[in-house]
């Protein structure tokens, strides 16, 4: 569900017509709906209220400070994957005890900063990393909590680029190695292994892979218990899918119906890390038609947003619905919607049947909230888009459009 709907043939975000927002803020423009993403967070919280999990929103899905702040204010924790994301989390006042930190490549500087702040957990992805965290914690005279990220070797049936819980992926630690690490962890005096973490992939629309992975790790935790090792926390990761085209993903409630009974029985304190589920459908990318170009074989609608603004179609062959901001009942035609960038991979949609378009028309790329702006780049020296947040009738700028100075801010012209 999202709050982008047509009223009188005009697309609205909550109670504001999107074309009016564009008049003020221009294109390309990311428009976020507060009610949508906060609503998704609250739905998940409600579905799992029996076990009151710590819901750590995955910052990398969309890291705008206003988005983070709105969620933290509602009680969310944050799931981070870098020192930069730790900085963002602290900027919005997220209590460190609600921050969990995953990544296969945490650096010394990043680890030190997170230990000093006293985050809830490092989600550790290898033995060398665990040893490094132990060494750094010892140097700082601290003891730090960790969870081991297990690679449960399940098939989440999603795009292979966003599968993370198979043994061929770089993420996590296999059961056997993890068991060995935990049994021998007594020698690591400055870390406490308190939790087990899994995150098996993204845009997963069915419950079965989650259930399978959770069952596997709970059995593992039970074995540890029998060996005298007690684990308090289970972090079940993120990965819940949303509707981009015609998927029928499980709702928060259906997901809870599947996994809650198992989680409840385990008696473990549960953490989850949804990203896309919360923010995915909560934003659109608005773009303007620059040219309509006919070739002997095709018709291209060239727009002012490109793969630097939204890379998902190019990177994952992802589908995004595209709709004109004003509904038009006229003739339809098959077109490719492409950006201005010098790459054939620079497209937003291919072979899409849309109402005939002309220069100056405005289009909304739907469900662009997750891995949209957060993956945006300056390729082709393009300035990254502005972002605005709509809450009911109010529209606020949450990131200004970049300018030429932003592009060269960190560069030096040296004599050669």
Ligand X SMILES: *Cc1c(COP(=O)(O)O)cnc(C)c1O
Residues that bind ligand X (CB under 6 A): 58, 60-61, 79, 81, 102, 199, 202, 237-240, 273-277, 370
Residues 6+ apart with CB under 8 A from 35: 3, 14, 391, 392
Provide the minimum distance between the beta carbon of 102 and ligand X in the complex, in angstroms, as a whole number. 4
Minimum CB separation of residue 274 from ligand X in Å reads 5
Residue 110 or 273: the one with the smaller Cβ distance to ligand X is 273
Closest CA to 16 of 3, 30, 2, 1: 3
CA distance 141 to 268: 29
Distance between CA 41 and CA 276 in Å, rounded?
11
Closer Cβ to ligand X, 81 or 150, answer by number: 81
Query: CA 109 to CA 24: how far, in whole Å?
Result: 42
Nearest approach, Cβ of residue 137 and ligand X (Å): 21
Smallest distance, Å, CB 252 to ligand X?
12
Query: Closer CB to ligand X, residue 21 or residue 47?
Result: 47
Integer distance in angstroms from the first to the last C-alpha of the chain?
57
Please identify which residue in the block is written with the tokens 């993420």: 171
Q: Answer for the pair 44, 274: CB distance below 8 angstroms, yes or no.
A: yes
Shortest distance in whole angstroms from residue 9 CB to ligand X: 33
Instruction: Identify which of residues 199 and 352 has a Cβ nearer to ligand X in the complex.
Output: 199
Q: How far is the CB of 87 from ligand X (least distance, A)?
A: 18
In degrees, rounded to 5, the angle at the alpha carbon of residue 252 between the alpha carbons of residues 250 and 255 is 60
- Between 25 and 101, name the residue whose CB sits nearer to ligand X: 101
Residue with tokens 């074309």: 19
Please tell me the number of Cα atoms within 13 Å of 144 on its side-chain side: 33
Q: How far is the CB of 65 from ligand X (least distance, A)?
A: 18
Both tokens of 23, joined, read 């008049």
Instruction: Provide the b/e sequence for 172-202 (b: ≥16 CB within 10 Å).
Output: bbebeebbebbeebeebebbebbbbbbbbbb
Omega of the bond leading into 311 within 30 degrees of 0 (cis)? no
Q: Which is nearer to ligand X, 196 or 357 (CB)?
A: 196
DSSP string computed for 186-209 = GG-TTEEEEEEE---BSSB--SHH
> Is 143 tagged catalytic?
no
Which H helix or E strand runs over 7?
strand 4-7
Dig out the tokens for 305 from the structure.
């947003």
Q: Is 44 exposed, middle or buried (0-12, 13-18, 19+ CB in 10 A)?
A: buried
CB of 334 to ligand X, least distance (A): 31
Cα-Cα-Cα-Cα dihedral of 326, 332, 334, 337, to 10°? -10
Q: Which of 13, 56, 143, 342 is catalytic?
A: 342
Q: Which of 210, 220 has the CB closer to ligand X? A: 210
Q: Which is nearer to ligand X, 199 or 288 (CB)?
A: 199
Specify whether the CB–CB gap between 241 and 205 falls below 8 A.
yes
* Spatial contact of 241 and 247, defined as CB atoms under 8 Å apart: yes
CA atoms within 13 A on the CB side of 155: 1
Which residues are annotated as catalytic?
A: 342
């Amino acid at each position: 569900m999202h709050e982008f709907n047509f009223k009188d043939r005009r697309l609205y975000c909550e109670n504001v017509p999107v074309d009016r927002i564009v008049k003020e803020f221009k294109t390309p423009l990311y428009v976020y709906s507060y009610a949508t993403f906060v609503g998704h967070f609250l739905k998940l919280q409600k579905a799992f209220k029996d076990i009151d999990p710590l819901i750590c929103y995955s910052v990398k899905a969309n890291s705008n400070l206003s988005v983070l702040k709105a969620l933290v204010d509602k009680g969310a924790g944050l799931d981070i994957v870098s020192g930069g994301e730790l900085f963002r989390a602290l900027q919005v006042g997220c209590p460190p005890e609600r921050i969990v930190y995953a990544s296969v490549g945490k650096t010394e500087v990043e680890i030190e900063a997170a230990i000093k702040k006293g985050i809830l957990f490092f989600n550790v992805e290898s033995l060398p990393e665990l040893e490094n965290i132990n060494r750094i914690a010892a140097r700082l005279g601290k003891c730090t909590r960790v969870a081991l990220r297990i690679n449960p070797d399940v098939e989440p049936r999603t795009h292979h680029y966003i599968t993370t819980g198979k043994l061929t992926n770089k993420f996590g630690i296999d059961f056997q190695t993890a068991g060995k690490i935990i049994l021998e962890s007594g020698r690591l005096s400055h870390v406490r292994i308190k939790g087990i973490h899994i995150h098996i992939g993204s845009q997963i629309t069915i419950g079965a892979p989650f259930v399978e992975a959770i069952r596997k790790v709970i059995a593992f935790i039970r074995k540890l218990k029998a060996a005298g090792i007690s684990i308090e926390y289970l972090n079940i990761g993120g990965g819940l899918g949303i509707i981009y085209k015609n998927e029928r993903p499980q709702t928060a409630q259906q997901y809870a119906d599947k996994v809650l009974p198992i989680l409840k029985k385990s008696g473990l304190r549960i953490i989850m890390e949804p990203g896309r589920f919360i923010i995915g459908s909560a934003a659109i990318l608005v773009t303007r038609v620059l040219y309509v170009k006919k070739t002997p074989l095709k018709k291209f609608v060239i727009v002012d947003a490109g793969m630097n603004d939204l890379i998902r179609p190019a990177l994952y062959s992802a589908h995004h619905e595209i709709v004109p901001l004003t509904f038009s009942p006229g003739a339809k035609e098959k077109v490719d919607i492409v950006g201005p960038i010098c790459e054939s991979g620079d497209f937003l949609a291919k072979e899409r049947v849309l109402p005939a378009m002309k220069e100056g028309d405005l289009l909304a790329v739907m469900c662009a909230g997750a891995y949209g702006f957060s993956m945006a780049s300056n390729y082709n020296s393009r300035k990254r888009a502005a972002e605005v947040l709509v809450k009911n009738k109010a529209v606020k700028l949450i990131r200004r459009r970049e300018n030429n100075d932003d592009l060269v801010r960190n560069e030096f012209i040296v004599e050669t």
